[in-house]
């Protein structure tokens, strides 16, 4: 329940951090924008999204702040902390390495 299993493990964290590096936003918007940005490929369920958000918050990578929403209720907006930005840099480098490694393997010619 606590681990998102509909995405490659750990990548959800990376994606969330990346989204928040673009702009600070709330949970719903993160899911929507992710869907948009990935042309509907990456869909994150609420059951994965909120545990992941709360985990990142507890780990000090992101920080939450309450702002009035459009309909004048409170809405929770997340943004990256400085530590989170560094962490994202590290993780995305890792991801690049991993991704290029995997595609290099996949490009092997089959006989």
Judged by the rule CB under 8 A, the positions of this chain that interact with other proteins are: 1-2, 26-29, 32, 45-47, 50-51, 53-55, 57-60, 63, 66, 69, 71, 73-76, 81-83
Dist. CA 36–CA 16, nearest whole Å: 14
Closer CB to other proteins, 69 or 100, in the complex: 69
Minimal distance, residue 32 CB to other proteins, in Å: 7
Minimal distance, residue 10 CB to other proteins, in Å: 15
Closer CB to other proteins, 50 or 101, in the complex: 50
Closer CB to other proteins, 11 or 57, in the complex: 57
Closer CB to other proteins, 73 or 109, in the complex: 73
SS3 of the chain: the string is: CCCCCCCCCCHHHHHHHHHHHHCCECHHHHHHHHHHHCCCCCCCCHHHHHHHHHHHHHCCCEEEEEEECCCCCEEEEEEECHHHHHHHHHHHHHHHHHHHHHHHHHCCCCC
Minimal distance, residue 82 CB to other proteins, in Å: 7
């Amino acid at each position: 329940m606590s681990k998102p299993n509909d995405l490659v493990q750990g990548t959800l964290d990376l994606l969330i951090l990346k989204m928040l590096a673009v702009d600070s936003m709330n949970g719903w918007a993160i899911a929507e924008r992710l869907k948009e940005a990935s042309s509907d490929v990456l869909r994150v369920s609420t059951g994965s999204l909120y545990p992941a958000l709360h985990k990142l918050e507890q780990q000090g990578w992101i920080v939450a702040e309450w702002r009035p929403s459009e309909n004048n209720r409170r809405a929770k907006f997340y943004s990256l902390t400085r530590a989170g930005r560094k962490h994202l840099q590290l993780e995305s480098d890792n991801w690049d390495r991993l991704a290029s490694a995997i595609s290099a393997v996949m490009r092997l010619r089959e006989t």
